[in-house]
Chains A and B, each alone.
Chain A
Amino acid sequence: MNPVAAKQPRGMKKSSKTNRAFLLKLELRSHPTLLCVIRGALEPLMDMLGFSAEHTRAIIRAVDEAVANIMRHSYHGRLDQPIEVYCNRLQRRANGEPEQGVEILLFDCGLAVDTTKLPARSLDEIRPGGLGLHIIRGSMDTVEYKRAGRLNRLRLVKYAHPSKGECGSPEENLS
């Protein structure tokens, strides 16, 4: 099947999910073969934002797992449902120094997620499955889920924690 040929649900189309300017917006269907497209899009963006290779891998890993969780748990394996990914630049001051970061928002219009029932197993167990949440939490600085109207919204944040001069300014990187 062509994963991008499905009809856009009304709720996702009309909803105003973010008022801020975003660096990148991806709209995709809930088809696992599209996971590689997300990974491929994020890598150069994180590089542009000045993240180290290690942090870039962490961010890609978290977003990939989050989207896979949407496909698996929110849409229960249906292949033609909408997912939107927004990437925004963040900046904060840490110890008087500016610190660059990225905020990634993921939206889907699947069933509300009961976070208490998500399969996150103890890492001491040796069995397959239930690792996705651990990987997301272990890779990002902030992981927040909320139900926003008919949508599930997952917010992921990662800061670069740069040594001085490691992370270029947005102006430099975007020029």
Chain B
Amino acid sequence: MKISSRKLDKATILDVSGNIDMSNSPEVRKALLHEIREKGVTRVVLNLTGVAYIDSSGVASLVEGLKASRESGSRFVLFGLNESPREVLKISRLLKLFEVYDDEAQAMAS
């Protein structure tokens, strides 16, 4: 799995590629909390286009990011969910909690 970040307007976009599971989900958590809590970014956008699989530990990292963004008054947005990540969020009844967009343009226009 790889995570890279880029700035666009006032947002930080985190591009993730590969699968997110128990072996690497702490890296996702760390990257999200770094942007939200330490850098104080007002909008963090997570690009999951390149992620085919997320397990429950990856979902937990996303939930931590969401909670941190709510606590700090920032926004946490997802886009590009493939079928498997979307299904696991649905089973967990968490899909509706997140702001989810189809692509980057929609996510940035939101």
Chain A interfacial positions (CB closer than 8 Å to B): 32-33, 35-36, 39, 53-54, 57-58, 60-61, 64-65, 68, 71-72, 123-124, 126-129, 131-132, 134-135, 138-139
Contacts and interface: CB of A to CB of B under 8 A. Distances in A.
Interface string B69-100: 00000000000000110011001111001000
A65 B56 contact: yes
Contacts of B53: 39, 60, 64
A32 B23 contact: yes
B58 to A, nearest CB: 10
B19 interface: yes
**Most-contacted residue by chain A among B53, B56, B67, B87 (CB, 10 A):** B56
Given A58-B87, A126-B97, A131-B92, 8 more contacts: A32-B23, A61-B84, A72-B22, A123-B93, A126-B94, A128-B61, A131-B59, A135-B92
Contacts of B93: 123-124
A99 B61 CA distance: 38
Nearest to A72: B22
If over half of B's interface residues share one DSSP class (helix, strand or loop), that class is named, otherwise mixed; here it is helix
A74 to B, nearest CB: 14
Contacts of A128: 59-61, 63-64, 67
Interface of B: 19, 21-23, 53, 55-57, 59-61, 63-64, 66-67, 83-84, 87-88, 91-94, 97
B26 to A, nearest CB: 10
B88 to A, nearest CB: 6
B63 A68 contact: no
Contacts of A65: 55-56
